Every structure is written in structure tokens, then in C-alpha cells.
Amino acid sequence: MPYNATEYMRPSEIYYTQDSIGVRFTDGNFLSDVYYSIIEGNLNPNEDIPPLTVVYHDGKPFALGCRRLYIYKKLEELDVIRKVIVEISTPQRESHRFQKLLTTQNGGTSIELRGRFRERRAYVYPWEFYKNRYHYENWTKSEKFKAKNRRRARSEAGLRNQHDEQNRAQSASRMNNRQQSVQNTRPAYDQSDQRRSRPVNGKIPETVYDYERPKAYTTPSIPSYNTTPRITSSATGNHTSNATQNAYITESFSSFTDINRIRQDNPPNSGSGAYAKQKKKSKSCPGCTIL
């Protein structure tokens, strides 16, 4: 197999070259930090991490990066990843490095950590999430890495995001235009004033609505009342008619006139001086005498 031939392999198919590894990478990052970053979807193992170098020895594929293989095997158990990119090399090309790292005593089936793997709780998404997140496909063992398809998928995703942003910008501009048109046609009133009688901006609105139009008031007409006194019977309390009232007034006035005439003709003690002093002339009626 030629040098640096790229293919996808399952981590469970690859063997370790060492019996123990440290808990940090050469750049200082913990294995647990990289492990949880891949689970959370913030780190793509096929783009952000260099591919594993695999060398076939006695017909078995051995990995030269045991720390990355350890993480990939743990992620495969959680169904976060299924296959990873590896570069196939030969023992002749990697003779010095391969002979130095090949120290396993158990055939490369297991490995120990020289330190503590800092585990914490993390939510593992379904396989479909990681498949879409990392552009995974249903790979076979001999399938080559399809960079063209991955680039196409990323470009299509970028176009979709750009289209969504344009739609959001257009909807926001339409909402702003609608609000401006509403403000121009009808002034905004101060909601603290329940009478809604004065605009907030202090300007008189151009459009007068029905509830803002002043009401026209008219002078109420004074009803005419009958000035003739109404006579009420003391016994029954019922009001009499106008004809009855007029007849009663006429009869009373004639009786009063007859009594006054009789008194003038026959005054009591007409010869006495006391009665003469009491006689007075009425200013309103000169011919009448008030006793």
C-alpha cells in the first residue's frame, strides 16, 4: 500500500503500540478536554485533529498516535464516531519511529493512563447529530475520503445560512416600515392619561377622529307652566280641574265684594272716633276701604 494513502477505519480495528500513555497531549491539552469537545460538537475529529498514522505489522494495523486512538475508541463506544481518517504508511518509512513506539506487551489490545482521566457529565447526542455535524456518511472500509463532497456540503450550508440572514433582514425592514407608516397616520398618545386628549409629541394631529371631534351643545328650551294656582282639597288631596278652579275663584271674589259692601253700609260704631281713625285709603284702590 502506498505511503500516505488515506482511508476510513473503525477505531476498534486499530491496535496500540504502547502499554501506557500520559493524560496530556504534547501541546498541553488534556485528553478529557478534547474528548468532551468532540462530544459537544465543538471539535471535528476529521478536520481539527490530524489523522492517525497506521502501520501494518504482521498483518495488523498499529497506530502511532495512541492518545488519539484512545479517545476515538471511547467515542466509538458512545456512537459519537464510527470511522476516522487514517494515513497508511509502511514499516520501512516509519522504521525509526515505529521501532521506538512498539513497546506493547499485550498485543496492542489495551492501554493504561499515567494519570487520571478527568471525567464529567456530558450529554451525548444521537448519531444523526454527529453525522450532520461532521459530515459523516455511511462509509465502508475501503471508501476513500471525499473532500469534494464535504466542501460541497459546507458551501451549501453557508448558502442556506446566508439566505436565512437575508430573509431575517427583509422581515425586519418590513416591520420597521410598517411601524413608521402607523406612526405617520395616527399620533401616539400618552397611555398614562386616560382621557387620551394630548399627543406625546405635543403636535395637533392632522386627522380628527370621531371621539376627538367636539360636541355641539344647544340651549335647552324652558317649558311653559300654568300660573293659575292649583287648589287642593284638604280632605282628599286631589287636584281639581282648571274650570273648577276658575269657578271657585269667581265665587269667592263675589262673596268678598258683598261682605265689604255690607260693612260700608252698616259700619259698627260708625259714630265713634276710634273707627274713624282706623279708616284708611288704599293706594292701589282709592275707592276701597281697608278695615
Task: Express as a percent the part of the chain with pLDDT over 90.
Answer: 14
Q: What pLDDT score was predicted for residue 140?
A: 42
Average pLDDT for the chain: 70
Q: Among 246, 45, 19, which Cα is nearest to 135's?
A: 45
Q: How far is the CA of 69 from the CAs of 120, 181, 189, 213, in angstroms? A: 20, 63, 69, 83
Higher pLDDT, 216 or 51: 51
Higher pLDDT, 157 or 119: 119
Which pTM was predicted?
Answer: 0.47
Report d(CA 102, CA 17) in Å as an integer: 5
Confidence of residue 145 (pLDDT cuts 50, 70, 90): very low
Identity of the amino acid at 55 = V
Confidence of residue 184 (pLDDT cuts 50, 70, 90): low
For the chain, list the domains and their CATH numbers: 5-145 (3.90.1530)
Please count the residues of the chain. Answer: 291
Among 1-5, 35-39, 56-60, 158-162, top mean pLDDT goes to 35-39
Furthest CA-CA distance within the chain: 179
Cell numbers representing residue 59 in the block: 498483518
Report the SS3 class of residue 102: coil
Q: What pLDDT score was predicted for residue 143?
A: 43
Report d(CA 101, CA 66) in Å as an integer: 10
Q: Is the pLDDT of residue 176 over 80?
A: no
Q: What pLDDT score was predicted for residue 118?
A: 80
Higher pLDDT, 46 or 251: 46
- pLDDT, tens digit (0-9, with 9 covering 90-100), for 90-127: 877 887 788 888 888 888 999 999 888 887 888 888 88
Q: Is the pLDDT of residue 183 over 80?
A: no
CA-based torsion, 208, 209, 212, 218: positive or negative: positive
